[in-house]
Amino acid sequence: MNVDLHCHSTMSDGVLEPAVVAARAQANGVDLWALTDHDELAGLAEARQTAESLGMRFVTGVEISVTWAGHTVHIVGLNVDEHNKALNEGLAGIRNGRAIRAHEMADKLESLGIPNSYEGALPYAANPDLISRTHFARFLVQEGYCSKLQEAFDKYLKDGGPAYVPMHWSTLDDAVGWITGAGGRAVIAHPGRYNYTPMQFDALYDHFLNVGGVAIEVMTGSHTPDQYAQYATVARQYGFMASSGSDFHSPREGKLDLGEVPPLPADLKPVWHDWI
Ligand code: AMP
Ligand code: MN
Ligand code: MN
Ligand code: MN
């Protein structure tokens, strides 16, 4: 079975509309699919409608921005009730901070010799509430300041980079609480992307379990094959269920297209085991 439980649409920092992402997933052979826009549920109705019309199983999803020990961690929520009040209110609170931060990023870029980046990034954000670093990165590439998206992050936008503006997103407790309160399962997204020490990782996993988290992404477009093995080991050690997702944003960006995620190691318990 082909499972892809992590990807983005124009409702956050993807370039395809929810219905187009659904159709692409189905065309690529996905059987069980979730849309997981950043901090936003508004694409789910369209995504579900298209998925079901194409005969593809659909799971509601969201990727929540969290600040933990001074760094950003992404928590994917799967199978949530998208009408849950606390979840919707919590996500609205996260979205509120993005416009102010975007202006601060533009100020930093201006001092680095790149004027008007807020105005430049905004047209890339189909949902302006969700203006993100990815939209700035696309502007920097389009204007020739960088040759590709990864370079825009490496040179300017990455955590601690010269145009980075630290954010206080939600807390881990709140994000996991909103997900589980909405009937969903909380998943640590792409653990291989975080710059924590081994001790901090252990503390993160313990904290996540203590507040009700149940799974980690093992197979993701953000991991190398070595990291597939590394986080499979973490899942076994901590008793996490395992998740899989391409983290697809655009046909021209990222490592994996929809449906291209390799299968999970057979001994791991899939986070979707009782949804099929
Ligand atoms: P934001 O939520 O505005 O902080 O933007 C985060 C998004 O930027 C992530 O969801 C990724 O799509 C992208 N991103 C973050 N860090 C990197 C990186 N180092 N390289 C490439 N893309 C990144
Ligand atoms: Mn993204
Ligand atoms: Mn992420
Ligand atoms: Mn993502």
What one-character DSSP code corresponds to residue 248?
A: B
Residue nearest to atom 12 of ligand 1 (CA): 134
Residues whose beta carbons lie less than 5 angstroms from ion ligand 3: 74, 189
Query: pTM here?
Result: 0.98
Using the Cα atoms of residue 130, residue 212, residue 174 and residue 41 in order, give the sign of their dihedral: positive
Q: How far apart are CA 243 and CA 220, in angstroms?
A: 8
| Both structure tokens of 107 | 């100020």
Strand positions, DSSP E, the chain? 3-4, 32-34, 57-59, 61-68, 71-78, 185-188, 215-220, 241-245
- Output 197-205 pairs: Cβ under 8 A, ≥24 positions apart: 200/69, 201/234, 203/69, 204/68, 204/69, 204/73, 204/172, 205/234, 205/238, 205/240
Cβ burial 23-37 (10 Å sphere, 16+ → b, else e): bbbbebebebbbbbb
* Residue of 38, 134, 220 to test ligand 1 pocket, by largest number of atoms within 8 Å of CB: 134
Query: Max alpha carbon distance in the chain (Å)?
Result: 53
Q: How far apart are CA 102 and CA 109, in angstroms?
A: 10
Q: How far apart are CA 238 and CA 259, in angstroms?
A: 27
Phi and psi based region of residue 247 (left: phi greater than 0; alpha: psi -120 to 50; beta: remaining): left
Q: Which ligand number lies closest to the CA of residue 254?
A: 1
Cα 7 to middle of ligand 4, angstroms: 6
Question: What distance lies between CA 105 and its chain's CA centroid?
Answer: 20
Per-residue pLDDT of the chain (276 residues; tens, 9 = 90+): 999 999 999 999 999 999 999 999 999 999 999 999 999 999 999 999 999 999 999 999 999 999 999 999 999 999 999 999 999 999 999 999 999 999 999 999 999 999 999 999 999 999 999 999 999 999 999 999 999 999 999 999 999 999 999 999 999 999 999 999 999 999 999 999 999 999 999 999 999 999 999 999 999 999 999 999 999 999 999 999 999 999 999 999 989 999 999 999 999 999 999 998
